[in-house]
Amino acid sequence: MFMKQKLILFSLVLLLVIPGCRKDMPVDEPTVSPDQLQAKPGDSDDGPRQCRLIFDDRDGVYGNFFHYNRKGLVDNWKVDYYDGYPDVYNFTYDNRDHLKTGHVVFNYNGSSFDVKYQYQGNKLVRETWYAAGTNNIVDDIVNTYNSRDQIIKRRSIPKNIYCTFAYDLLGNNTLVNFYIDDALYLKEEYTHQRYNRNPLTSLDGIPVILPYYDFVISNWWETSQKWTVYDEAGATVIIDLDPKTAVMKLGPQHFLKSVSNFDRAIQQYTKAVFEYENCGKDDLNEPSTADNIVASKNPRTAIIGKFRRSLLPGQSSDIRNEIRELKRKLGQ
């Protein structure tokens, strides 16, 4: 009898306790958005996140537009001269997030190429350019590294074109020498006197170079830039950005938002602006940098920008003549 009373009393206690416990238990499974499932560790609606560059512009005459895949790697890059004929790059990656293939279309002349990339460890050592849809090699570029994993030479095997690179102690590129048949045709000099995060370092998936023969990505954006071209007539300075006039505005996460310099070669100011996404709460209330583009377009910037196409694989069979044409156009 006593045991039966205990069982009845215990049952009454359970009836009172269990409903109270249920009030503290979640009724439904928590929901997780697809974006949260794809987010990198540390990401949230408010940040912190890694900013990534989506747009930049130089003097309102040409711009770069970047798009990212679901893993946050650059899968599309468009170089637009605002003339209706952009250069378009599409990239694929392997399971280690290394560049695997590229497809490039130059709309201004209708040429297109397929690119295959080769790595040793995490270092891009070779990129081979083919005429699109064929096995015909147009260019084959090999990268040489120093002990700090910095590219010190890029060499085109079939064209006997190569560039050498020098760096400061902070890993910024200070000097590029561009050779054709062992003769110097272009010298690029840079200084990096003010701290900033180079916008190009936010391009996940893209290694320390872009497809140009003569380009590597520095940790900081430069405070000065001087380009000298050489031909039979001698040396000509075509860009000379004065470091004393550099005005840099930093944006979210200390990435460069805008930079302006006085170009002593043309006696005129030049300006670049940058726009980002994925900065977390730093994205809020950020005005578009497109509002800050200088109103007066610099025609020399367009001429030099399009000259740089000749420094891309498959775009010129005679870079020497491209330099002569560049000097003629700038002299008009």
114-124 pLDDT, tens digit per residue, is 999 999 999 99
Calpha distance 52→50 (Å, rounded): 6
Confidence of residue 75 (pLDDT cuts 50, 70, 90): very high
Write out pLDDT tens, residues 84-115: 999 999 999 999 999 999 999 999 999 999 99
Look up the pTM and report it. Answer: 0.81
Predicted local distance difference test score (pLDDT) of residue 283:
57
23-37, 59-73, 161-175: least confidently modelled range: 23-37
Hey, what CATH topology would domain 53-331 get? Answer: Porin (2.40.160)
35-44, 122-131, 193-202, 260-269: least confidently modelled range: 35-44
43-52, 205-214, 262-271: least confidently modelled range: 43-52
| Stronger pLDDT, 326 or 258, i.e. the higher one | 258
Find out whether the peptide bond into 48 is cis, omega within 30 degrees of 0.
Answer: yes
47-61, 66-80, 96-110, 148-162: least confidently modelled range: 47-61
Length of the chain: 332
Predicted local distance difference test score (pLDDT) of residue 332:
60
Predicted local distance difference test score (pLDDT) of residue 164:
98
With both helix axes pointing from N to C terminus, report the angle between 299-307 and 319-331 in degrees, rounded to the nearest 10: 180
220-224, 275-279, 328-332: least confidently modelled range: 328-332
Number of Cα atoms under 13 Å in the Cβ half of residue 247: 9
Which among 211, 180, 166, 203 has a CA at the least distance from the CA of 278?
203
Name the one residue in this structure whose structure tokens are 């910037």.
301
Which among 178, 206, 200, 217 has a CA at the least distance from the CA of 316?
178
Average of per-residue pLDDT values in the chain: 84
